[in-house]
Structure 1
Amino acid sequence: MKRRHCLAAALAAPALLRVPAHAQARPRTVGDRLQLLPPLAMPGLNRERTLRVYLPPSYASQPGQRYPVIYFHDGQNLFDEATSYAGEWGVDETLDALAAQTGFEAIAVGIDNGAERRMQELNPWDHPRFGLGEGEAYLAFVAETVKPLIDRQFRTQPGRAHTGLAGSSMGGLITMAGLCLYRGTFGRGLVMSPSLWIAPQAFDLVEKQPLPADTRVYVYAGGREDRDMVANAERLHRLIAKPAVATLRVNEAGQHNEPTWRAELPAALRFAFDLPA
């Protein structure tokens, strides 16, 4: 039985990272600057969620410095091969490398997915096969519960120009919806291989709630993905780019998997945060 934690517990000292029993044989690929916060209640969804927080290289040694924050979906797949279910993105290694190369440092917050609830949680719209969409409640949790918690507990730059939202597949879909629905909260987006086939309503949302002109969005699609991925990404990019700053990257050899998104992550971060190429 899960133990329910109140908000005060979420602000307590981070727990030690624990490896799921099914992943014991996999190598650990995470550094010592990743913190695992206690499970946090998700208002309106009657469940809890684990947050994984990467702190940048200078965080401990520069107590006066504040940092941008990037919120990633599918937190299990971001930092550690041992906790991933389909390979990891290497977010910590990528951000460490960018810090060394450019001086850019950011906090990365991984929000674990809901496993069997993932298809509902990361879709704001109902679907005949996957059921009622819970995406709006999930996004409210990210913007109204997770972000305020991170801003209180860590030294962040809380403004929208320093706050990103990132994800792939269903995570790419919910990222796009989050950029539109919380335009005052998120000003940077990494929309990787978005599952627009499951929710074409996303195109209408982008048209009806255009992004502010200073929003920066990186849209990615692979040529070896299914369901009109490239055509849908091209259409999405055209809609985003009317008011906002957006780029589209198509990798003709790109597949729908974590190694591909990991390889694309440095370029996506450089664009979203306007870093030197």
Structure 2
Amino acid sequence: MKLKLVFPKVLLICVLIVSACSEPEKQTTATANVQVLPYQFLMPELDRQRTVRLYLPPSYHQSDKSYPVIYMHDAQNLFDDKTASSGEWEVDESLNQLAEKQGFEVIVVGIDNDADFRMNELSPWENKRFGEAQGQQYMAFIVEVVKPYIDTNFRTQADRLHTAIMGSSMGGLMSHYAIHAYPQVFSKAGIFSPSYWYSQDVFSYSRFKKAPLDARLYVMYGDKEGDGMIADTDKMLRQLRQQGHPRQNALFKRVPNGEHNEQLWRTEFSEAIQWLFQQQPAF
């Protein structure tokens, strides 16, 4: 009788082990014009190293043109389903299609996140739950280490009018900060599902240090991301308008049925970058 009771449990354990071991490994989905730069970049003020991923336009190796650049956070989720935590943005596929159909080409520089410090690195403001802010050091790393390397080693249009920053969630919060903190570096920000909830300091900072009038802000969120997301983003919209930021340079988009995930950000990516790089009036 004891054997009959023990055997099914042993069999179940064996089945579970075999099932776990037989799960197919994710295959890379990154296109051929995406590369991981061959060495880690040192983050001087944080004493960490970081992987940087690079998308080059289809025509890059067949021309001598220089290209605009978008700097993006959470690079593991941008190009490759194999490295993505919850599906990828398909940035490379989307840009390849835009290049083929509309002739729009841009370089994308993706900075990997660090799972242990992501919340800290992607905010310049402290949060009692998540601890100290490291966003100022993280952005200094992008501006003082990564960007000079990219501009030196690749054919970029390095001026602010051809340089954008983009991210989602905490990356949206950081992109909002970057366009205000580094107006001499960035003139465009893609701010997807921004985590304005993380710190109310984002509102006081944005009042104190206004973005230049020609800065283009594309703020997008889904209406299923929660009441807090809707309220905070509406509050930021009202504040920017009260501060006199031109309506044609600040687009706030609420996506019906949009949820806080890569599917929303993937779907909205192409429209956002086309709007960000439209010709704009001088101020």
**Which TM-score band (shorter chain)?**
0.7 to 0.9
Distance 1:24 1:71, change over 3 A: farther
> Residues 1-277 of structure 1 correspond to what in structure 2 (within 5 A)?
25-37=25-37, 38-62=39-63, 64-226=64-226, 228-241=228-241, 242-244=244-246, 245-274=249-278
Question: Unaligned 5+ residue runs, structure 2?
Answer: 1-22
Per-residue deviation, residues 58-98 of structure 1 (Å, max 9, x unmatched): 00000x20000000000000000001111100110111111
Judged with a 3 Å threshold, the aligned counterparts in structure 2 of structure 1 residues 132 and 227 are, in CA distance, closer, same or farther, namely farther
Deviations 1:97-146 (A, max 9, x none): 11122211000011000111001000111111100010000011111111
Q: TM-score with structure 1 length normalisation?
A: 0.88
How far apart, CA to CA, are the structure 2 residues paired with 1:254 and 1:50?
Answer: 30
Residues of 1 paired with 2:232 and 2:191: CA distance?
Answer: 12
Shift of 1:24: 7.4
C-alpha displacement of 1:27:
2.4
SS at match of 1:94: helix
More helix by share: 2
Give secondary structure in 2 for the equivalent of 1:60.
helix
Runs of 5+ in structure 1 lacking a partner? 1-22
Return closer, same or farther for 1:235/1:35 CA change in 2, 3 Å cut-off.
same
User: Which stretch of structure 1 is more off in the superposition, 231-240 or 91-100?
Assistant: 231-240
Q: CA deviation at 1:237?
A: 2.6
More divergent stretch after superposition (204-213 vs 104-113): 204-213
Quick check: 1:24–1:82 contact (8 Å CA) kept in 2?
Answer: no
- RMSD over equivalenced CA pairs, Å: 1.4
Moved over 2 A (4+): 237-244
Q: CA deviation at 1:200?
A: 1.5
CA drift at 1:176:
0.3
Deviation at 1:227, TM superposition (A): 5.2
Aligned residues: 252
Aligned-pair identity in percent equals: 43
CA distance in structure 2 between the aligned counterparts of 1:257 and 1:105, rounded to whole angstroms:
26
Q: Distance in 2 between matches of 1:82 and 1:240?
A: 39
The TM-score with structure 2 as length reference comes to 0.86
Q: What displacement does 1:34 show? A: 1.0
Q: CA deviation at 1:243?
A: 2.3
- Which amino acid is the alignment partner of residue 245 of structure 2? P
Contact 1:197 / 1:227 at 8 angstroms: preserved in 2? no
For residues 163-196 of structure 1, give each alpha carbon's deviation from its aligned partner in whole angstroms, at most 9, with x where no partner exists: 0000000000000001111011000110000001
SS at match of 2:117: helix
